[in-house]
Structure 1
Amino acid sequence: MTRTPDILCIGSVLWDVIGRSPSAMAFGADVPGRITRIPGGVALNIAMGLARFDLRVALLSALGTDPEGEELAAECRRMGLDTDFLYRSEDLPTDRYMAVEGANGLIAAIADAHSLEASGDKILRPLTDGRLGTAQTPYPGAVALDGNLTATLLQTIAEGAAFAAADLRIAPASPGKAERLLPFVASGRGTLYVNLEEAGLLCHTRFDSAPDAARALVARGALRALVTNGGKPCADADASGAVSACPPEVLVTRVTGAGDTFMAAHIAAELGGAAREAALEAALRAAAIHVSGEHPA
C-alpha cells in the first residue's frame, strides 16, 4: 500500500481459536459447541474494527514466516489492512490466542504472544527509520497500542521521543497485563481504555462504578481514561471532567473482542469529529452489536 495510514495499530496480530457453547459452563465442563479459528489479537481486532469505518489502518507487529503467518498476512491484506510495516521473523512462530466461552461468559483464555514479546523494539523500527517517522520528526498521527508488548517496551513508548507527537490510544489486553500501563499514567501520555477491574489494578484499589474509576485514574496522572463496566454505565474522564453513558441492553452471545470493538468505534468516531458524548455512545452501540452476535466474529 502507498497511502498514508490514518492510524497505526501496534501490538498482537495472531490467530484466535475460540470454543463457544450455548450451555453454562463450570470448571471441568465437557460440553458440545463450536470451535473457530479467526484473525485476532488486540491490535488486529482494533484494526479490523477501524477498517469497517473506512479508515486506512497500518499494522505494526511481529508475524512469523510460517504457513500460519503467511495465511494471516494474506487475510489482513484481504481486509484492506496495510501489512507493509510488519516485522516478519523466520525464527519465531506466529502467535495464538485460545479461549472457551459459555452461556455464562468467558470461562478461560490463554494468550500466547511470546513471539511479539521476543521481537521487542524491532516492531517499532518504521517509526524511527524514516518510513513513518524519525527521532527528529516523530509520527504525528493516531496510534492504537495494546499491552501485549513487554513492560520494558511499553515504558519506552510512554517516555520516548518516537511517540511524543502521536495521539496515543492504549488498551491493556487483559487484566493480567493492566499494570504494564502504569508508565502511561505516570507520564500523563495517551488515552487509556480499561474495564473496571483493570482500572482498579492500575489504582491499587476497587471501584464501584466506572465514573469513579475514570476520575481516579485522571487524579493519579492519566491524561484521559475511558472505563467500561459490562452492561453498567461507562465513563470518559480527563482534566476537564467526566461524561458517562449506559450500554444498550442486548442478549450476550459472545464476549471475546468486545473491548476492542468499543475502542475501535470510539477512536473512529473521534477521528470523524464526534464530540465526547456522541463518541462514547457510538462505541457502546458498536460493542453491544458485537456481543449480541449481530456482526460476524
Structure 2
Amino acid sequence: MFVVCGEALWDLYGSDKGEGLSFDARIGGSPFNVAVGLARLDQEAALFTGLSTDLLGEKLFAALKTEGVETGFLLRSSRRTTLSLVTLGKDGSPSYAFYGDGAADRAVNLSDLPVFSRDIWGVHAGSFSLVTEPIGTSLLSLLGREAGERLVTLDPNVRLNVEPDLALWRERLDAFLPTTDLVKVSEEDLGLLYPSAPPAETAERWRAAGATLVVVTYGREGAEAFGSFGRVSVKGSEVDVVDTVGAGDSFMAALIAGLAERSTKSREALSRLRRDEVEALIAFATEAAGITCGRRGADPPRRAELGAAASQDG
C-alpha cells in the first residue's frame, strides 16, 4: 500500500449569474487527488490527513470509500473543511483562493503521526500541507522517520495564496529534500521558487541534496527526468484542454503507479532504472495527465483508459 499525506478540500468553480454567483463544487486537494488517482490505477492507496465531520467532510469521506482509498489513517474532527475558489484562465489554467485557516486538514500534530505496517511501501506528501502548520512540521517528521525505510515522493505544488512567503517554501523544500527519493515539480513552480535558475540546474541541485530522481513537467510540452542515467525528455499528449485542474496530480499518481507496476518500490530500485524505463514511465504519466486535462476538474483516469503497461520496456 502507498500512503498519501496532505490536504483534502472542495474546489468551487464560480459562475456569474448577474447579481449573484452559482458554484460547481468538485472534490479536490492535491494529495486527495493523488490518492484517488492511485486507486483508479489499481494501486492500493491510503490518505493520511485531518478530515472534518461536517457535511463537506462526510462527502469527502464517502468519495474515498467509493474510490477504494483506505480511510484508516484519517483523523476525523469537527473543524471546518477547506474550500478553494477556482478561476479558470482562457487556456484552462486555474488560479485559486483558499479558505482554510483552522481547517481539519491542517490540524495534524506530531502526536497524530501513524505507525506504518510492513505492507506500506511508500509515502507521498505535497502542496500547501508542506508549509502550513501544524501539519507541515508533522509531515517533515514523518518523512524523516520513513526515509530509507520506504520510497518517499514529493510534489511542492506551490500555492502562494495559502502561503505567500517564497523564502518559507524554499526553506521547507530544503528540509524535505534529504528525506525524498523522487520529486515531481512543474516548470511553473520552479519559475516561482528559482526564477533565475534553469530547471536542469535546480534538478541537479536537488539530486545532490538527496533526491534520486527529479521529474519536471512542462504542461503541453511534456516532461523530463533527471537521474543517474542523465536526462530524458518526453513530448506532451495531444488533447483538447477543458481545464488543467488536477493534471499534475494525475501525473504524480501515474508516476507512482508506474513504479509499482515495475516493482520499483525502494530507493535502490529507483536508482537502477534505465533510460528507456524512465522514458516509458514519464510517457505513461504524461498520458494520464492529458486525459485529466480533457475533463472538468480533478478527474484522474482509470487504468483501462491508459495505453501500454508501464512495466513494458520501450
Structure 2 length normalisation: TM-score? 0.75
Give the residue type in structure 1 aligned to 2:54.
D
Letter in 2 for 1:182: D
Pair 1:7 & 2:9 matched: no
Retained in 1: the 8 A contact 2:11–2:25? yes
Separation in structure 2 between the aligned mates of residue 229 and residue 161 of structure 1, nearest angstrom: 32
Distance 1:15 1:295 in 2: 11
Distance 1:200 1:166 in 2: 30
Which among 49, 62, 65 is matched to residue 50 of structure 2?
A: 62
Q: 1:10 to 1:139 in 2, by over 3 A?
A: farther
- Asked whether the 8 Å contact 2:246–2:297 carries over to 1, the reply is no
Which structure 2 residues correspond to residues 143-154 of structure 1 after superposition, within 5 A? 143-149=123-129, 150=132, 151-154=136-139
The equivalent of 2:140 in structure 1 is 155
- The answer on whether the counterparts of 1:16 and 1:96 sit within 8 Å (CA) in structure 2 is yes
Structure 1 CA distance for aligned equivalents of residues 15 and 203 of structure 2: 32
Q: 1:254 aligns with which of 213, 218, 243?
A: 243
Equivalent position of 1:277 in the other structure: 279
Query: Contact 1:9–1:59 at 8 Å: present in 2 too?
Result: yes
Cα distance, 1:223 vs structure 2:
3.0
Match of 2:32 in 1: 44
Q: Deviations over 1:169-211 (max 9, x none)?
A: 11113253653322123x263211111132345556332xx55
CA contact (8 A) 1:141 1:167 kept: yes
Give deviations 1:220-265, integer Å, cap 9, x for gaps. Answer: 5533211111122421112342211111222221011110011111
Kept after mapping to 1: 8 A contact 2:35/2:47: yes
The answer for the alignment partner of 2:88 in structure 1 is: 101
CA spacing shift, 1:293–1:147, aligned 2, 3 Å:
closer
Question: What is the alpha-carbon distance in structure 2 between the residues aligned to residue 295 and residue 62 of structure 1?
Answer: 22
Corresponding position of 2:176: 184
Which whole-Å CA distance do the structure 1 matches of 2:69 and 2:94 have between them? 31
Deviation of 1:108 after TM superposition, in Å, equals 2.6
Q: Residue 122 of structure 2: which of 132, 142, 145 is its match?
A: 142
Q: In structure 1, what is the equivalent of residue 270 of structure 2? A: none
- Structure 2 CA distance for partners of 1:213 and 1:234, relative to 1, 3 Å: farther
Q: Is the 8 A contact 1:13 1:44 kept in 2?
A: yes
Q: Is the 8 A contact 1:9 1:143 kept in 2?
A: yes
Counting aligned pairs with the same residue, the percent is: 29
In structure 2, the CA distance between the partners of 1:203 and 1:108, relative to structure 1 (3 Å rule), is closer
The 2-side partners of 1:271 and 1:113 are apart by: 33
Question: RMSD over aligned Cα, in angstroms?
Answer: 3.0
Name the CA shift for 1:203/1:174 in 2 (closer, same or farther; >3 Å): closer
For 1:12 and 1:35, locate their aligned partners in 2 and report how far apart those are by CA, in whole Å: 21
> Secondary structure, in 3 states, of the residue corresponding to 1:104?
coil
Matched, 1:165 2:145: no
Letter of the structure 1 residue corresponding to residue 137 of structure 2? T
Describe the shift of the 1:95–1:280 C-alpha distance in structure 2 as closer, same or farther (beyond 3 A): same
Relative to structure 1, the CA distance from residue 108 to residue 78 in structure 2 (aligned partners, 3 Å threshold; closer, same or farther) is: same
Contact 1:235 1:243 in 2 (8 A): yes
The residue that corresponds to 1:217 in the other structure is 206
Change (3 A) 1:139 1:111: farther
1:70-111 per-position Cα deviation (integer Å, ceiling 9, x unaligned): 222112111111112100112x11222221114333353123
Query: 1:81 aligned to 2:69?
Result: yes
Q: Structure 2: 5+ residue runs without aligned partners?
A: 164-168, 264-276, 300-314
Report the CA distance shift for 1:244/1:75 in structure 2 as closer, same or farther (over 3 A). Answer: same
Q: Does the CA contact (< 8 Å) of 1:7 and 1:141 recur in 2? A: yes
1:42-75, Cα deviation, whole Å (9 max, x unpaired): 1110111111111111110001111221222112
- Deviations for 1:15-34, whole angstroms, at most 9, x for unmatched residues? 2223479xxxxxxxx8x998
Letter in 1 for 2:284: A
Say if 1:167 and 1:190, in contact at 8 Å, map to a contact too.
yes
Q: When the two structures are aligned, how many residues end up with a matched partner?
A: 270
Residue 172 to residue 99, structure 1, CA distance change in 2 (3 Å):
same
Q: RCO higher in 1 or 2 (8 Å CA, sep ≥ 6)? A: 2
C-alpha separation in 1, matches of 2:210 and 2:196: 16
Distance 1:286 1:195, change over 3 A: same
Structure 1 unpaired stretches of 5+ = 1-5, 22-29
2:187 maps to which residue?
196
| Number of the residue aligned with 1:27 | none
Deviating beyond 6 angstroms after TM superposition, the runs of 4 or more aligned structure 1 residues are none
Tell me the amino acid that sits aligned with residue 77 of structure 1: K
